Amino acid sequence: SLDLDLTTHSVLTNIKFDAKQGLDLKVGALGRFQTNFANPDTGVRRLIPDYDKFDFGLYSIGSYELDTDWTLDAGLRYDFSRIDSKKFYRTSRWEERGYDVDFADIVLEDLGTQLLTNPVFDYHNFSGTLGFHYEINGKDHLRFNYALSQRAPNPSELFSDGLHHSAARIELGDLRMNSETSSKFSASLERNSNKFGYSVAPFVNSIKDFILLEPTGVEFTIRGAFPVWSYRQTNAVLFGIDASLYNNWTSNIRTDHKFAWVKGTDSETDTPLINIPAANFTNSITFTNTNWSNFLISLESQYVFEQSRYPENIEVFSPQQQENVLLEINTPPEAYHLLAINTEASFTIKNKNDLTVGLSATNLLNTNYRDYLNRQRYFVDDMGRNISMRLIFNY
């Protein structure tokens, strides 16, 4: 059914200027050509269309020390992308999505039940960043940053048109996709010392033409009934915070703590965005002793909260019941707690510490859980206890 040949050629060049004290400047250019060819001899309608993709980019980033405490960081980037594709569409799908009105000029051949089309799209994207770094003292730092960035839609978001086999769902792209435009403000307060350190980093990100994939209905085929997920664009706002803390209690014992939370909202409908990761809290304690063959053992605890903000579930028609029923496809799974352990030591075979032996285990208690962002969570639990051994030999 699938026989794809994807070939990519890339050229990248960078130049760094750092001769002047207090000024670092980098400039660079990127060129890339990518071609995807689907073997027509399979006799199956191509899941991924043939396409040629051309990318060209120019960028410059730099940092300048205003004085002993303040540093200015800035960057600019321009990217050009062209996608030249050949794709078959079922005539019914083509008309259902209104392409017969908006894209009648890209039809190369009408085969009755199918149309051969030649979509060609050009994207011009600009990005820029401006930030300040203030060194409060040798240990504490304060940072502010603003970033404007654009991203062109990828072939999946444009051309998806059928069953995504591994996810057991029908996915539909949209030829009308524009580039996303993100405007992000962020700040951070950090401390780094031998005893302890922390980082607190709030952010807010406003995204115009945000691309998301969400369930929109059900389609009945000769293979069965499949949920339909469609790509669409909207305006969105995301804000959240990342925080971390570490403490070296002794020369052998260290603890680490991390917390992450983000809230995403569709600002056009004032509803929660789909597939926003739930808040999570990770803690670990590590014991090391260099006198015991660099012995290390670490125990990690991760708690993932249940996502309380999600879009409403959808109603679909049930042929068996001959009425609309609620499809709880957006309801997130419950919160879960995982434990993991990792240990390793180094030994000398020929050169000092050239052999490292390690043993690790994840999901130590073999907890049954499902992750909100896992596309397979509708069918099966996530991975249970997993034990792995590693040998690293440097020669």
Say whether pLDDT at 47 is over 90. no
Per-residue pLDDT tens digits for 193-251: 999 999 999 999 999 999 999 999 998 888 888 999 999 999 999 999 999 999 999 99
Nearest to 4 by CA among 62, 45, 50: 50
Question: Per the confidence metrics, is the pTM higher than 0.85?
Answer: yes
Say whether pLDDT at 45 is over 80. no
The H or E element spanning position 74 is strand 70-90
Q: How far apart are CA 352 and CA 368, in angstroms?
A: 43
Exposed, middle or buried, 16 (CB in 10 Å: 0-12/13-18/19+)?
exposed
Q: Are 355 and 392 in contact (CB under 8 A)?
A: yes
Say whether pLDDT at 44 is over 80. no
Per-residue pLDDT tens digits for 257-315: 999 999 999 999 999 999 999 999 999 999 999 999 999 999 999 999 999 999 999 99
